[in-house]
Amino acid sequence: MRMLDLLALPCLLLTALLAHAEDLAGAKDHPLLSRYPDSHITEYQQYFNAVEFATGSQDGVPQRHSIEGNATQILYFHDNPEKQPSPLQLIRNYQNAIKAIGGEVVYERLPAEGDGGETTLKVLTGGKQIWVRVEPGIFSAPTQSYRLNIVEVAAMQQLVTANQLLDELNRNGFVALYINFDSGEAELKDDGKATVAEIVGMLKSAPELKLAIEGHTDNVGQAAENKALSERRAQAVMDAVVAGGIEAQRLNAAGFGQERPVADNRSEDGRAKNRRVELVKQ
């Protein structure tokens, strides 16, 4: 055999192995998003977790927010260096896939020298808010990789009616509401707006009732930031109630941050109970 054939043999074997690469045992694509053609899974994790997503930038530095939910992390490698997409092509494909089902591009950092870029995507589907982070890799060889981080945040069900709210207020003097906000944010989501509609209905049915709207958080993060966040969330609820036709004089808003826990912050279940908005009868 000629020397040229000997040198070429390892490359031919490598190409054959890449062409028949199989997924990691037990790994699978996420139901929402298929893989880029001619790629395989080498890492796969699925568990409840908090994942950082870039939602904007300041002075060129990505600003990230933590989103909690059922998280899936998948690392793919392309099978063939001649067929693999560019990082930008990969980003655009996933952006188009999310936009095609009514989602949006929250953030993008385009590929540059030494940086494959990334994009954050968001869509509401199947009763869940789903966040996606796509990160093309550029440092592996002979083929490159890309990573998907997907977090599913289940939409909270509206379980409390105006009559139930009023009954509990009359019985206990307060009621705790678990209004779903994005991590670090104070903007009301659809399920929160549904809860506000019940608060408005209750107040209209009891015109003499006055309420304090109090925000509370868990102990994750800085105490001062948590208190400010709880104040913004309480104010957001109050503003929405006023917008629903209730006089502002019947309401006041306050935030207590992590100062008044009702459960153990050492567990996720406890932290979830502490992240609440309370209505207090005045």
**Claim to verify: residue 63 and residue 150 sit in the same structural domain:** yes
What confidence score (pLDDT) does residue 4 get? 37
C-alpha dist (Å) from residue 113 to 61, 75, 87, 138, 195: 16, 22, 11, 10, 48
**Closest listed residue to residue 79, CA positions, set 135, 26, 14:** 14
CB 71 within 8 A of CB 49: yes
**Claim to verify: residue 261 and residue 231 sit in the same structural domain:** yes
169 inside domain: yes
Among residues 154, 176, 210, which one ends one of the domains?
154
User: Could you give the number of structural domains in the chain?
Assistant: 2
- DSSP summary character for residue 250: G
pLDDT higher than threshold 50 for residue 247: yes
**Claim to verify: residue 70 and residue 189 sit in the same structural domain:** no
**Claim to verify: residue 173 and residue 104 sit in the same structural domain:** no
15 inside domain: no
**Claim to verify: residue 132 and residue 192 sit in the same structural domain:** no
In which domain, by residue range, is 132 found? Answer: 23-154
DSSP states of 95-127: HHHHHTTT-EEEEEE--BTTB--EEEEEEEETT
What number of other Cβ atoms are within 10 A of residue 26's Cβ? 8
239 inside domain: yes
**Claim to verify: residue 28 and residue 150 sit in the same structural domain:** yes
What confidence score (pLDDT) does residue 159 get? 56
pLDDT higher than threshold 80 for residue 10: no
Least confident span in 43-52, 145-154, 189-198, 255-264: 189-198
**Claim to verify: residue 74 and residue 139 sit in the same structural domain:** yes
8/163: higher pLDDT: 163
pLDDT higher than threshold 80 for residue 11: no
What long-range pairs does 217-220 form, CB within 8 A, spacing at least 24? 217/257, 217/258, 217/274, 217/275, 218/258, 218/261, 218/265, 218/270, 218/271, 218/272, 218/274, 218/275, 219/258, 219/261, 219/265, 219/271, 219/274, 220/265, 220/271
Stretch 108-133: mean pLDDT:
90
- 159-177 residue pLDDT tens: 578 889 999 999 999 999 9
**Claim to verify: residue 222 and residue 276 sit in the same structural domain:** yes
For the chain, what is the mean pLDDT?
A: 87
**Claim to verify: residue 132 and residue 56 sit in the same structural domain:** yes
Among residues 104, 138, 154, which one ends one of the domains?
154
**Claim to verify: residue 61 and residue 182 sit in the same structural domain:** no
